[in-house]
Amino acid sequence: MKDFPEFMKNKSNHISSKEQNTEDIDGYFYEGTDGSQMAFWTCYSDRASRKHIHEFDEYMVCISGQYTAVLNDEEFVLNPGDELFIPKGTEQWGRCIAGTRTIHAFGGKRICRSEE
């Protein structure tokens, strides 16, 4: 597959650019009743994200392309099928190449809806 299925890209679940740590990516999210969230991102050009820290654990998997995660200055190169666990409180940022798609699960509220 070259893209996420259309049913996963419902307009009401679109992630606002204000909620992104990386420019020129497109994302959608879903929330669990416990406040946890899952996000699905597509990177359209080679980009780097801003450094940030979450107050909850994060799990990610690379679906296509390549994502280089930098956790506390240590690099992890993720290719399709590779997974990464990021403990809460970890300083992180990353780089993606055009065409990269990733799925992230957050143990807390990472994304706010635009009306919140």
Q: Which amino acid is at 41?
A: W
For the segment 21-39, what is each residue's pLDDT rounded down to a tens digit? 677 788 999 999 999 999 9
pTM for the predicted model, two decimal places: 0.89
> How big is the chain by its Cα radius of gyration, in Å?
13
Which CATH code for domain 23-106? Answer: 2.60.120.10
For tokens 């999210």, name the residue: 29
Domain ranges of the chain: 23-106
For the segment 50-101, what is each residue's pLDDT rounded down to a tens digit? 999 999 999 999 999 999 999 999 999 999 999 999 999 999 999 999 999 9
pLDDT higher than threshold 70 for residue 116: no
Cβ proximity of 79 and 62 under 8 Å: yes
Please compute the mean of the pLDDT values over residues 45-53 and round it to a whole number. Answer: 93
Torsion angle of C-alpha atoms 59, 60, 61, 65, degrees rounded to 10 = -170
